[in-house]
Amino acid sequence: MADLRTRYLGLELRSPLVASSSPLTGNLDGLARLEAAGAGAVVLPSLFEEDLAEETRQVDALLATGATGAEARAGHPDHAGYGAGPAAYLSLVAQAKAALSIPVVASLNGVSRGGWVRYASRLEQAGADALELNIYYVSSRPGLSASEVEWHYLDVVRAVRQAIGIPLAVKLSPYFSSLANLAGQLAEAGADGLVLFNRFYQPDLDIETLEVAPRLELSSSTELRLPLRWIAILHRRFGISLAASTGVHTAADVVKVLLAGADVAMMTSALLRNGPDHLRPLETQLRDWMDRHHYERLDQLRGRASQRSVPDPAAFERANYIKTLASHSGPAADRP
Ligand SMILES: Cc1cc2nc3c(=O)[nH]c(=O)nc-3n(C[C@H](O)[C@H](O)[C@H](O)COP(=O)(O)O)c2cc1C
């Protein structure tokens, strides 16, 4: 039977199928179901910079009423889930570590080098095997240059790197003008791996009320192309791990990102849509594909279709653009 073991961020994983950050990984029941269905690792939902700022504000307010530090902190609600706060999050990390035998990756979401960076070391102390830093920043200020934005990313990564000894992954958006250069700088700043990509949720407009409406739609396999291209381009460039995120739904999607050079294939939408047991047929189909193609281990196939390995490396860049556009056969109505 094909061996699915892989290394990610220096950790040994039994399978490349990883559950990315989502509500499914935010409670022990979901985590246990993911482990039982074969997940190689789990990434917890993010602890947000805003949550940490809110806790500091509430504790300061209670301290102002004469409460002791311990009383003030105890007054902060302790329940799991988005916006539940740092205390609940630290306890989720500790409980997940105690309950699971697969690696548990904690996730911090922030944009600035603020006091929240200190929480990285608390996540490490709580037992996290690795930390994923999710830098979600929509730069809308004219006058703030691309290099200044990138400088902020690197600044945060350096600060977090100094604060922890566990492996560090950085989850990026695809919206950079020179992603390969940034990837190298992030590796230099101390990132052990990149998660490509986070999916920014675009607001919609309600044309009756003229209100901005938040819309969260799950991904489909067609969105895999973007991570696929960048994984193929970045494979073996900077000696860091690569995780594919966005658009991994089927076993064929998993095979594609591994061939491009990913160390793991992360999933959220597919697991939210189908439940954790979706991992079971995926694992079977991945093994079947490996058997049919006479691969015994993942390292025999990883990167076989990366930019360095394919006969036409330009296919991952601009070269295929005109050919692809020309290949479209026009409006369906005009076709015979
Ligand atoms: C409901 C929901 C909650 C999410 N929460 C987080 C989060 O807390 N932190 C994070 O880094 N990504 C979060 N994500 C993004 C996913 O981890 C993943 O990167 C994204 O959905 C793309 O992967 P997919 O195509 O497999 O869904 C969330 C996604 C969804 C749908």
pLDDT digits (tens, 9 = 90+) for 282-292: 999 999 999 99
Task: Name the token pair of 43.
Answer: 């990434």
DSSP 187: H
Q: What residue ranges line ligand 1, CB within 6 angstroms?
A: 20-23, 45-46, 107, 109, 134, 171, 198-199, 216, 218-219, 245-248, 267-270, 272
The fraction of the chain above a pLDDT of 70, given in percent, is 88
Please report which confidence band the pLDDT of residue 71 belongs to, taking 50, 70 and 90 as the band edges: very low
- In tens, the pLDDT along 206-256 reads 899 999 987 888 999 999 999 999 999 999 999 999 999 999 999 999 999
Decide which of 95 and 114 is more confident: 95
Burial label, 323 (beta-carbon count in 10 A; 0-12, 13-18, 19+)? exposed
Helices within the chain (DSSP H only): 28-37, 49-64, 69-74, 86-99, 118-125, 146-163, 179-189, 225-234, 251-260, 269-274, 279-292, 320-326
The residue whose C-alpha atom lies closest to atom 21 belonging to ligand 1 is 268
Residues 319, 42: Cα–Cα separation, whole Å: 37
Number of Cβ within a 10 Å radius of residue 126 = 19
Task: Name the token pair of 333.
Answer: 């109505």
Interval between CA 219 and ligand 1 midpoint (Å) = 10
- Residue 114: strand, helix, or coil: coil
Sign of CA dihedral 256, 261, 267, 269: negative
pLDDT of residue 74: 42
pTM attached to this predicted model: 0.90
Residue 165 to residues 184, 191, 214, 244: CA-CA distances in angstroms?
Answer: 20, 12, 37, 24
- In tens, the pLDDT along 17-36 reads 999 999 999 999 999 999 99
Average pLDDT over residues 140-157: 92
Peptide bond preceding 176: is omega within 30 degrees of 0, i.e. cis?
no
Task: Name the token pair of 323.
Answer: 């050919």
pLDDT of residue 179: 96
Largest CA distance in the chain: 81
C-alpha dihedral, 292 to 293 to 295 to 299, nearest 10°: -130
Interval between CA 22 and ligand 1 midpoint (Å) = 5
Decide: 89 and 131 in contact? Cβ < 8 Å. no
The residue whose C-alpha atom lies closest to atom 27 belonging to ligand 1 is 269
